[in-house]
Structure formats: C-alpha cells, structure tokens
Amino acid sequence: MNLRGPEVTNALLELFAVTRWQQLDFLVLDMPPGFGDAALDIMRFIPRAEVVIVKTPSILSRSVAARAEAALGKAGIKILGTVENYSQNGIRPDINLEAAYGKPRELLKTQFAADVETWLKAKAA
C-alpha cells in the first residue's frame, strides 16, 4: 500500500479489527525497512509480535538491519532470525559500487554501470 502517517495506522487498525480472521498459526507482514509508522504501529497493536529481519549484503542494508536489531532488542521484541536476500537480476555484484555513490563520474566507471548498459541494450533489441 502506498500510504503515509495516519493512513498507515488506519489501514492497520482496519486489517486487525475488521478482518474476520479464523484461527491463525502465523500472520506474516512484509514491512518496509527501518522504523516508520507501520513498524511502530505493529509493535503497539501486537505486543507479542516476533520479527525476522531481512537484509541484503549492501552496506546500507546491513546498517539499517543492525539499527533495527538494536532497537527491537531495547523494545523487548523477539527476533526469530535474520535472512540475507540478494537478487542480481542479471547484474553482477560490484564491490566498487557503494564507494561510487554520489559521484556520477565514478559511478559510470563501475562494472554495475557497464552491466546495466548491456542489459538495457538487450531489452531494447
């Protein structure tokens, strides 16, 4: 859902209060990264919620996951585990990519940029 602020809270309240749930063993909610309104509302509405942290190998994702893990621990939320997910979609990992973020000239010199260009040409053909 593309919602913000109070819209997120209202949608979650409707999901939990209006939906006629049968007996559930699990309810899996795929949440955006970090601690936005949705994550905070889930912790408030479902005090026994347990979390699986999903991250990718990127530096940014690892950093967000580490902050989430620390915050969840302080809040007393049980972390069931961490899953590392990485989909290449035909583009090879490039160890130089993150160092080039914010530097357009450097970014264009990366293997990632070359792979994207090749992929776009193949799609256009």
Residue 55 CB partners (closer than 8 Å, separation 6+)? 61, 62, 64, 65, 82, 83, 84, 85
- pLDDT class for 91, splitting at 50, 70, 90? low
Q: Which domains does the chain have, with CATH numbers?
A: 5-86 (3.40.50.300), 92-125 (no CATH)
pLDDT at 120 over 60: yes
pLDDT at 99 over 80: yes
At 27-69, the pLDDT tens digits run 888 887 777 788 888 888 888 888 988 888 778 888 888 998 9
SS3 53: strand
- The pLDDT, as a whole number, for residue 121 is 85
Q: Are 105 and 90 in contact (CB under 8 A)?
A: no
**Per-residue DSSP letter, 77:** P
